[in-house]
Amino acid sequence: MNCVHSVTPHTLIQVVSASISQYDVQNGRSSCTCICLEASLTVLERLGDGTAWAGSPDDVANCVNTGVAMYEAVAATGTLAVEHTSVAEILATVARYHDALQPATDKVTHQGLLGSDTSIARVLGEIRGERRDQSRPVAVVITKPPETVVCFLPAESQAEGGAATTGAPSTRQWLLFDSHPRPQHGLVGASVRCFAAEEALVEALNDIFPAVDLGTDSVMSSMYNMFDCVPLSLKKR
């Protein structure tokens, strides 16, 4: 069942949930990178005029279905060397995303290590400070194999706490698009969770990607805790 939940706590504003996840669509298991790029395009276009996210369950499901279709089209060409593709591979081969999305910082990929000084919170802060255009929202595609999700950082110019002169609600929101089911949160399908603070977004990401403690084995610890973040913005047209 498609659901839109309005949530009362200040940190989690809203959850928009579809009835399907990537696992409910044929070839969806390997499509999370394409799905996240489709979500990046869809959500950034909606946020581009400075309004708050107002997507529907159908929008979330469409991101899943279109992302899977894009993956299938690329896979059919035989150009993908591995089952799980990188953001760079998809941007280089899918015109829909290459023509619309661009790196949001000079560094194309920001790497971090869970449970260290380069945690998710630190890397998101780095991206926030280094983005080329502070007046535009940014999508951050986060990959820690085998999963990929995408979060959205608001433009620095968006009002926090609402517009004082108009009484309009705040558009300063942190979004998390996730094509995987999260039954522990009551989410059986893909979802967008909308937060009122970056700390709440980070908490949700740490829940998805917990640090793995392997004791003194630093090599294996690095391998299991490494993640990549690719910040993207819309190309100006």
- pLDDT in the model for residue 105: 97
d(Cα 188, Cα 58) in Å, to the nearest integer?
A: 15
- pLDDT in the model for residue 186: 92
Summarised one tens digit per residue, pLDDT across range 42-87 is 999 998 767 788 899 999 999 999 999 999 998 888 776 666 789 9
Summarised one tens digit per residue, pLDDT across range 149-200 is 999 999 986 645 444 334 445 568 999 999 999 999 999 999 999 999 999 9
Summarised one tens digit per residue, pLDDT across range 181-194 is 999 999 999 999 99
**Domain extent listing, the chain:** 3-234
d(Cα 26, Cα 28) in Å, to the nearest integer?
A: 5
- pLDDT in the model for residue 15: 95
CA geometry: angle at 24 spanning 80 and 68, to 5°?
Answer: 30
Nearest to 229 by CA among 149, 117, 116: 149
Domain 3-234 has CATH 3.90.70.120: yes
Query: How far, rounded to the nearest angstrom, does the alpha carbon of residue 87 sit from its chain's CA centroid?
Result: 12
Query: At a CB cut-off of 8 Å and minimum separation 6, what does 7 contact?
Result: 13, 14, 15
What's the length of the chain? 237
Where does the chain have alpha helices with state H?
32-47, 57-75, 87-93, 95-98, 120-130, 198-208, 218-225
Give the pTM.
Answer: 0.89
